[in-house]
C-alpha cells in the first residue's frame, strides 16, 4: 500500500537516481555525498552539491498571496543553503562558493519581490555565517521565466565545498559499539532569530496537503497538480496552534537549521566516524552509510509537535513518518563510545539540544535500522 506521502507523488526511495549515481566520478561512493578529485590540488577533493527547498516555495507563495508578506521568500535562502552546506559538511567539506537557480511563473508573482527578498536572504545568511568564520562567496545564479513549466516558482542551489582527502568522512569505519548522537531540528539555536518547528525541507508535500484548507486550492489552483487530489487540512495558513506556539504557516515555513557552525567546532575537536543530515529519507538516511551495520535508535527524543500534528491530521503510519520526516533529529553524528559527551556539550553551547539516540550493532547482511519508539518498533533496510 502506498504511503500517504507516495500518494502525493513523492518517492522517498528515489527510484531512478541510481542511473545518475552510477556515472558520477565519485572518489568515495560510500560517503554521504559525492566528492570528485581536484585537478589543481591533488590533496583535496571537490564537493559540487545541488539541492532544493522541496515544495516550501508553494507555501511561501501562498503566504505571500494571502498576506502580502515576503518574509518567507527570504528564509527560503536559509533552506537551500542548509540543504547544501550541511550535506557537504557530512563528508567534512567546507563551503567556498554558492550559486542559486530560480524558475518562476511571472504571471503569478512579482519576480522583483521574489528576487529582492532572496537577495536580502543571501546577504543575511552569509553575513551570519561569517560571524562564525565561515566565508561563502556568492557567485549569483540563474533566474528563468518558465510559466509553462512551473506553476508558481521553484528554487535550488549549488554549493562548492572542499575537503582534504586525508580528512574525508566516509562512514567506512563505523563499527559495532559506536554511539549515535542526534542534534535537534526544532527550537532555537543561539545564532537563530526565531523558534523553529523543526520540519526542515522534507515531507513538505504531505504537511501542506494534510494541514492546509482546500479553500486555498479553490482560490489558487496553481498550488497543486490535478493528480494530488486537493488539500484536506483543517487549518488556515495563519491559524495559531497552541502546541506549536506558532501559526501553521510559520511551522511549515520554519527555515532548515544550518548546523555548520556547530559541525565545524565538532570537527575541530573530535574525529567523528560519520555524519548524517536527515533530509530525504528522514531517520532512515543513515542506511546509506557504513558496512553491515545495524543501527538501533531506541532513545529518540519526543517528536516535535509539528510531526505529531501531521501524523494526526494525515493518518500516515508512524513507520512512514520516520521515513518521511526528520522527526525532530536534523543531524546524526556517529562517534566512538566516549566521545558522546563532548559532542553534546558543543551542540548545547550553541543552544541546540543533543542526546544519545542509539548505537551501532553488527548486521549479518547489509545495513539495517531498528527504531524503537513509543509509537512502535520499526525495521528498515
Footprint (CB under 8 A) of a second copy, residues 98-127 = 98-101, 103, 105-107, 110-112, 114-116, 118-119, 122-123
Q: How many CB atoms lie within 10 A of CB 274?
A: 26
Tell me which residues in 189-248 interact with a second copy (CB under 8 A): 205, 208, 223-225, 227-228
Q: Please state the closest distance from residue 363 (CB atom) to a second copy, in A.
A: 26
Cβ closest to a second copy, residue 83 vs residue 300: 83
Q: Does 8 bind a second copy (CB under 8 A)?
A: yes
Tell me which residues in 13-52 interact with a second copy (CB under 8 A): 14-17, 19-26, 33-41, 44, 46-52
Cα–Cα dist 379/381, whole Å: 7
Number of Cα atoms under 13 Å in the Cβ half of residue 365: 0
Task: Taking each helix axis as running N to C, give the angle between helix 56-67 and helix 76-89, from 0 to 180 degrees, rounded to the nearest 10.
Answer: 160
Question: Mask of contacts with a second copy, 157-186, x by CB under 8 A?
Answer: -x-x-x------------------------
Q: Please state the closest distance from residue 159 (CB atom) to a second copy, in A.
A: 9
Q: Please state the closest distance from residue 378 (CB atom) to a second copy, in A.
A: 23
Edge to edge, what strands does the sheet with 44-52 contain? 36-37, 44-52, 153-164, 94-104, 137-145
Q: Please state the closest distance from residue 7 (CB atom) to a second copy, in A.
A: 11
Q: Are 329 and 264 in contact (CB under 8 A)?
A: no
Q: Please state the closest distance from residue 23 (CB atom) to a second copy, in A.
A: 5
Which residue is listed with cell 516550501? 56
Cβ closest to a second copy, residue 11 vs residue 193: 11
Q: Does 264 bind a second copy (CB under 8 A)?
A: no
- Interface with a second copy (CB under 8 A), residue total 87
Cα–Cα dist 102/114, whole Å: 10
Q: Does 54 bind a second copy (CB under 8 A)?
A: yes
Cα–Cα dist 171/274, whole Å: 5
Q: Are 238 and 250 in contact (CB under 8 A)?
A: no
Q: Report strand pairing: 179-184 vs 376-380.
A: unpaired
Q: Please state the closest distance from residue 91 (CB atom) to a second copy, in A.
A: 12
Cβ closest to a second copy, residue 33 vs residue 179: 33
Taking CB under 8 A as the criterion, the residue among 142, 315, 338, 364 binding a second copy is 142
Q: Are 322 and 159 in contact (CB under 8 A)?
A: no
Written as nine digits, the cell of 144 is 528563468
Amino acid at each position: 500500500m502506498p504511503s500517504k506521502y507516495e500518494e502525493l507523488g513523492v518517492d522517498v526511495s528515489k527510484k531512478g537516481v541510481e542511473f545518475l549515481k552510477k556515472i558520477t566520478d565519485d572518489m568515495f561512493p560510500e560517503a554521504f555525498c559525492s566528492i570528485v578529485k581536484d585537478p589543481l590540488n591533488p590533496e583535496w577533493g571537490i564537493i559540487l552539491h545541488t539541492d532544493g527547498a522541496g515544495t516550501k516555495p508553494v507555501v511561501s507563495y501562498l503566504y505571500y498571496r494571502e498576506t502580502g508578506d515576503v518574509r518567507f521568500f527570504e528564509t527560503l535562502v536559509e533552506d537551500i543553503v542548509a540543504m547544501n552546506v550541511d550535506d557537504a559538511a557530512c563528508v567534512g567539506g567546507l563551503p567556498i562558493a554558492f550559486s542559486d537557480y530560480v524558475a518562476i511563473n511571472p504571471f503569478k508573482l512579482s519576480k522583483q519581490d521574489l528576487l529582492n527578498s532572496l537577495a536580502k536572504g543571501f546577504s543575511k545568511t552569509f553575513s551570519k555565517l561569517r560571524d562564525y568564520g565561515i566565508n561563502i562567496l556568492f557567485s549569483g545564479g540563474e533566474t528563468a521565466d518558465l510559466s509553462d513549466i512551473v506553476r508558481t516558482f521553484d528554487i535550488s542551489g549549488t554549493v562548492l565545498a572542499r575537503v582534504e582527502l586525508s580528512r574525508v568522512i566516509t562512514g567506512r569505519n563505523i563499527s559495532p559499539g559506536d554511539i549515535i548522537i542526534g542534534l535537534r531540528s526544532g527550537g532555537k539555536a543561539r545564532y537563530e532569530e526565531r523558534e523553529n518547528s523543526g520540519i526542515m525541507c522534507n515531507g513538505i508535500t504531505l504537511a501542506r496537503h494534510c494541514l492546509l484548507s482546500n479553500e486555498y486550492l479553490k482560490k489558487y489552483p496553481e498550488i497543486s497538480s490535478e493528480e494530488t487530489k486537493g488539500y484536506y487540512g483543517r487549518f488556515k495558513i495563519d491559524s495559531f496552534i497552541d502546541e506549536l506556539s506558532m501559526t501553521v504557516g510559520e511551522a511549515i515555513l520554519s527555515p532548515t537549521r544550518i548546523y555548520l557552525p556547530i559541525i565545524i567546532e565538532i570537527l575541530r575537536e573530535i574525529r567523528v566516524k560519520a555524519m548524517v543530515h536527515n533530509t530525504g529519507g528522514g531517520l532512515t538516511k543513515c542506511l546509506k552509510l557504513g558496512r553491515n551495520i545495524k543501527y538501533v535508535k531506541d532513545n529518540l527524543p519526543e517528536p516535535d509537535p509539528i510531526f505529531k500534528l501531521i501524523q494526526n491530521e494525515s493518518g500516515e503510519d508512524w513507520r512512514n513518518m520516520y521515513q518521511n520526516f526528520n522527526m525532530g533529529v536534523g543531524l546524526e553524528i556517529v562517534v566512538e563510545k566516549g566521545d558522546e559527551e563532548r559532542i553534546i556539550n558543543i551542540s548545547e553551547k550553541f543552544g541546540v539540544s543533543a542526546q544519545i539516540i542509539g548505537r551501532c550493532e553488527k548486521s549479518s547482511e547489509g545495513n539495517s535500522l531498528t527504531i524503537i519508539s513509543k509509537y512502535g518498533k520499526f525495521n528498515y533496510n
